[in-house]
Amino acid sequence: MIIHNYYTTLIKPFFNALGAIWHYSVITLDNNDVRVSNIIMSLIAIYIGVKYYKIFINWVQRLIAKWFNDDKYASIVLQKLSSYVFIVVYGLFCLQIANISLSMLAFIGGALVLGIGFGIKNLVSGVINSLVITFERPLRIGDIISVDNYLGYVISIGIRSVAIETMDDTVVFIPNSKIIEESFTNFTNGSDMIKLNTHVVARVAESIDDKASKGAEIIQILQQVMHDNKLIASYPAFKVWFISLKDQEYEYLLQYFCSSDKENLHVIKHEINLALNDKIPYNISVSTSPKL
């Protein structure tokens, strides 16, 4: 009897009150009741997602790295994309637990929804552009490209932008949309070699009767400079072109391949300039493109 009275007077009312609170409707939007239970369960789901987010993403990224073992570039992009997909999908899952539909967000505030809409639009656009870059391969990590007046190495390709490290070690972020929609130059296109073009102009002060022999003499010097430099690739072979002769100015073009390593490029430019100034007995001007 005492236990029954204790149950009817204390325990039962307590659980009835707790149940009433649990099922209490905080707000009703679009004929959907957002109850206390929905909010609590949604908060628990958010806590679990935050706590185990890194563990789950690391597992997914390891799988991606394993599946795309032979394609490092696609692996990196898809690993980054997986985290965005998880956040969006899990966010929608938490909203579903809270009994909040996407249409109900319109009641929260038009400006907020509009801002979220533009944010999602930009995110989706960035994802699509990154996927286009991933599968069309206009550039790869390590490529030397020129875009929007910047020249440098591609060091990362993200969901929103491509990071380029310039020759003076400055990192520039180029939006993926600019890569997709505008023109740019890729000097290596996945190769570890780059083609350089060096213009040489030799100014001969005195008047020379045998201009052909003087031009041939300078060509021999240029060929020897190219041959002696060990940083220049043997294949494809270097080429020396005579471009023009005007007002005692002999213009030549040197075309050659070398490693695209940044330090190597600085060294080869330095060595060629020194050798040309040392071996050609005339005033000369030297310019190399791309301008490294």
Task: Give the CATH number, domain containing residue 170.
Answer: 2.30.30.60
246 within some domain:
yes
- What pTM did the predictor assign? 0.66
Reported as type and span, the H/E element at residue 52 is: helix 36-67
State whether 284 and 212 are in the same domain: yes
Burial 1-32 (b: 16+ CB within 10 A, else e): eeeeeeeeeeeeeeeeeeeeeeeeeeeebeeb
State whether 93 and 18 are in the same domain: yes
125 within some domain:
no
What pLDDT was estimated at residue 117?
Answer: 57
132 within some domain:
no
What pLDDT was estimated at residue 4?
Answer: 53
State whether 216 and 248 are in the same domain: yes
State whether 7 and 104 are in the same domain: yes
pLDDT at 226 over 70: yes
DSSP 8: I
State whether 16 and 102 are in the same domain: yes
Which CATH number belongs to the domain containing residue 237 in this structure? 3.30.70.360
Instruction: Give the C-alpha separation, 289 to 273, whole Å.
Output: 13
State whether 241 and 276 are in the same domain: yes
State whether 208 and 149 are in the same domain: no
**49 versus 68: which is more confidently predicted?**
49
Owning domain of residue 101: 2-108
State whether 243 and 277 are in the same domain: yes
Total number of domains constituting the chain: 3
State whether 181 and 148 are in the same domain: yes
Our CA angle for 280, 285, 287, nearest 5°, is: 120
Dig out the tokens for 178 from the structure.
Answer: 């600019």
Where does the pLDDT of residue 237 fall: very low under 50, low under 70, confident under 90, or very high at 90 and above? very high
Summarised one tens digit per residue, pLDDT across range 125-158 is 777 787 788 777 888 889 999 998 899 999 988 8
126 within some domain:
no
Which residue, of 50, 80, 108, is where some domain finishes? 108
* Range from 45-54, 63-72, 76-85, 99-108 carrying the lowest mean pLDDT: 99-108
Which phi and psi (to 5°) does residue 236 adopt?
A: -60, 145
State whether 12 and 96 are in the same domain: yes
Strand ranges inside 85-189, DSSP E: 144-147, 150-157, 161-166, 171-175, 185-186
pLDDT at 112 over 60: no
Which residue, of 108, 131, 162, is where some domain finishes? 108
Instruction: Give the C-alpha separation, 134 to 132, whole Å.
Output: 5
114 within some domain:
no
pLDDT at 98 over 90: no
134 within some domain:
no
Instruction: Give the C-alpha separation, 270 to 92, whole Å.
Output: 58
